[in-house]
Structure 1
Amino acid sequence: MRRLTHLAVFCLVAAVACAKKDTAANSTAADTTTPAAVAAPTPPPPAPLTLADVAGKWNMRAVPDSGDTTATTYVMTATADSTWTLQFPNGLKVPVKAMASGDSITVHAGPYASVRRKGMQVTTDGAFRRQGDRLTGTSTAHYKTTRPDSVLHLRVEGTKAP
């Protein structure tokens, strides 16, 4: 009889232990089937920038990334087509080819007489993004020379002329 009692107690303990594990397993299973927190949808990308979006006159300022920090200023006339112009304070007017790509405008000018390095020819390539009423970006000047400093990187910023 004593063995029967021990067996009954053992079965009761085992049943209680199994019941707790089943409850834990059931709650875990329930947790995995509950809907997870839904992430906020990704905002749509901005609409592509067009040449017409930046048409007008822009007062531009280009400053080298390092070394000489003297700014080169010019007025960039942007149109809805791909032919733009740069007008420097000395009167030099340079045609520019512009292209819109995604959220950027890329430009190419030259070769033309450099206003930074007298007596040298330069070709420039740049990329701008519109930030409100400003254009910001970079430009790389390639000078026609055999000297080691034939490339100049500049930060460019411009505001729309009234």
Structure 2
Amino acid sequence: MNRTLLVILAGCIIGAVRNPVEAQGGGIKLSDVAGTWVGRSMAGPKDSVFSTWVLTATADRQGWTFKRPKGDPYPMRIITVGGDSVVTEVGPYPSILRPGQTATTRFVGHYHGSKMTGTFEAHYPSGDVVKGKVAATRKK
């Protein structure tokens, strides 16, 4: 019996060392990333910047917005939160890459202090998908 308890305890300790975020209770909270984030979207083999934007994040699932330099803010939906990541979705909204079309875009942002990096997938009504990277810095 004592040996079984020792093996279970050792497994818990090893798990906590391997994945400290999960050991602390599930990782990032929306309140950890609340604020104004200035970002850019990149695509292509050289990560060319094709768009800049401002993401406003709140401490809960309400009030997140995505705004490009010339335009109104669009509401964002929080899809899931876990580890160091927040998955959001915005749209449909007018596409920058394809004038006259709309896109719905899903972002996977990995947050570390005042820096965020991640990916996006823009989905068009035709079924086309454009993928790329995002990076942002939280304004002070």
TM-score when normalising by structure 1: 0.66
CA distance in 1, matches of 2:45, 2:65: 26
Aligned-residue Cα RMSD (Å) equals: 2.1
CA distance in 1, matches of 2:112, 2:92: 29
Percent of aligned positions that are identical: 35
Equivalent residue for 2:138?
160
User: Structure 1 stretches of 5 or more lacking a match?
Assistant: 1-39
Equivalent residue for 2:28?
49
- Count of matched residue pairs: 120
Equivalent residue for 1:69?
48
Kindly tell me: are residues 66 and 79 of structure 1, through their superposed partners in 2, closer, same or farther at Cα, counting changes over 3 Å? same
Amino acid at match of 2:20: P
Amino acid at match of 1:56: G
Q: Does 2:102 match 1:135?
A: no
CA distance in 1, matches of 2:115, 2:46: 25
Between structures 1 and 2, the one with greater helix share:
1
CA contact (8 A) 1:107 1:127 kept: yes
CA contact (8 A) 2:47 2:133 kept: no
Deviation for aligned residue 1:155: 0.6
For 1:9-158, list aligned pairs within 5 A: 42=17, 45-46=20-21, 47=24, 48-66=27-45, 69-83=48-62, 84-98=64-78, 99-145=80-126, 150-158=128-136
Deviation for aligned residue 1:130: 1.2
Between structures 1 and 2, the one with greater strand share:
2
Secondary structure, in 3 states, of the residue corresponding to 1:135? strand
Kindly tell me: are residues 45 and 144 of structure 1, through their superposed partners in 2, closer, same or farther at Cα, counting changes over 3 Å? same
User: Structure 2 stretches of 5 or more lacking a match?
Assistant: 1-12
CA contact (8 A) 1:63 1:69 kept: yes
Kindly tell me: are residues 126 and 79 of structure 1, through their superposed partners in 2, closer, same or farther at Cα, counting changes over 3 Å? same
Off by >4 Å, runs of 4+ in structure 1: none
